[in-house]
Structure 1
Amino acid sequence: MDILNKKHRSGVKKPFRLEEIWRIRTRLEIENSFMQLALLNLAIDSKLRASDLLPLKVCDISSQDRMFTRVKHIQQKTDVEVQFEITARTQQSLMKWIFVATLKTSDYLFPSIRRKQQPISYSYYRYLVRKWASNLGLDPSLYGTHSMRRTKATLVYAKTKNIRAVQLLLGHTKVDNTIRYLGVELEDALLLSEGTDC
């Protein structure tokens, strides 16, 4: 039983559903948690792994007080370039956070309070994601930093059924990885194939 629970905890992390994201946003807005709101929104928009998201600096997403609408980024794990959009909502939350925290262009977007000139740690990011899940009454062990990477990808796939588009957004080199990542069932894949006329 313990082995089963351990496997369950360390398995693929669930994405958040759209209504859950809105509930998290609302709570963070009420609490004036500017950093967490900016982190949540950028994590969803960028679909980046924690190893790529946390080291981002202010200059990576803005220039001369102007927020970029699109960003190109080379992923550390794969060395593959991905592009992501920064939606108007995310731009607004980032600008507010940068202003409140008085961040300079060379500063990390999400600086650590304890470690000087370092971004927040992976473990703190994971703690925040699990706290957001817990606040919604969800099992926090089912959520982690990868939940943020999967959230928008899952929503895009659910809306479009376009695996290739999601593959490009995530920067996967093989479509098989994207299929596994999204948990696309064989039946779903066959229906997609049947609906495609060649």
Structure 2
Amino acid sequence: MLWTILYIPSVEVHAMNASETSTREPWNKGKLVGQKTPFRIKDIWAIRVRLQLAEKVRDLAIFELAIDSKLRACDLVALRVRDVTHGDHISSRATIMQKKTKRPVQFEITDQTHNALKTWILCAKLRNDDYLFPSRSSRKDHLSTRQYARIVKDSVTSIGLDPSAYGTHTLRRTKATLIYRRTKNLRAVQLLLGHTKLESTVRYLGIEVDDALEMAEQTEV
């Protein structure tokens, strides 16, 4: 009898929890999830000009380097000054070890990025061992990925784009997508993104269906 008295409440509690779970809305309801849209050339220039006019030196350096490096957010914010410099000069190329794959990846530093980084390093008075983008609360810490995401959101919003369609991964995908569209060289893009498998690059770009349709349209029978 005692067993029956203890058992019935547990069933009721279980039923109540199941009822609450069934009525709870999915976390992603009404949200865009999955791959973020890469920037178009005109978007890049629009954001670049906005940041220059607003004299946001740090944000411009982050934006330019993120486009060039094609790094994941966790790798970008953890960069130190020495990773992109050689002595007192900004390097033309850099190599870092990826946190996710534990494999090295190389990237180029173009003139736009070179100038933005040089201005930021001088303005912030950064030393060789300092984080390239230190946290404003403590120079011993680097910018968090959440703060980085907020910077990207502000930049996207400033040119009238929907921030829900873009994110930090947008900057990682942008140049890789542009390179692929111009060259159709998947292997090159794989190396630039630091993917271990070519299949990952194909899925990441997400444009193979468009390519197939384009080739079909250009083929007459």
After TM superposition, the score normalised by the length of structure 2 is 0.81
Which one of the candidate residues 46, 49, 60 is aligned to 1:37?
60
Structure 2: state its 5+ residue gaps: 1-24
- Equivalent positions of 1:140-151 (< 5 A) are 140-151=163-174
CA distance in 2, matches of 1:5, 1:141: 12
After TM superposition, the score normalised by the length of structure 1 is 0.90
Name the aligned partner's letter for residue 129 of structure 1: V
- Equivalent positions of 1:43-192 (< 5 A) are 43-186=66-209, 188-189=211-212
Measure how far apart 1:108 and its partner are. 0.6
What secondary structure, in the 3-state scheme, does the structure 2 residue paired with 1:84 have? strand
Question: More displaced, 173-182 or 7-16?
Answer: 7-16
- Structure (1 or 2) with the larger CA radius of gyration: 2
Measure how far apart 1:104 and its partner are. 0.8
Match of 2:21 in 1: none
Measure how far apart 1:191 and its partner are. 6.5
Question: More displaced, 62-71 or 43-52?
Answer: 62-71
Change over 3 Å in CA distance of 1:20–1:187 after alignment to 2: closer
CA offset digits 1:96-153 (Å, max 9, x no partner): 0000111111111111111341111111100111111111111101111111100110
Runs of 4+ aligned structure 1 residues displaced above 6 Å come to none
CA distance in 2, matches of 1:171, 1:87: 19
What secondary structure, in the 3-state scheme, does the structure 2 residue paired with 1:151 have? helix
Measure how far apart 1:189 and its partner are. 4.6
Measure how far apart 1:74 and its partner are. 1.3
Q: Identity of paired residues, percent?
A: 49
Name the aligned partner's letter for residue 148 of structure 1: L
The two structures, once aligned, show a CA RMSD in angstroms of 2.0
Match of 2:33 in 1: 10
Structure 1: state its 5+ residue gaps: none
Name the aligned partner's letter for residue 70 of structure 2: K
State the aligned residue count: 193
Q: Which has the higher contact order (CA 8 A, sep 6+)?
A: 1
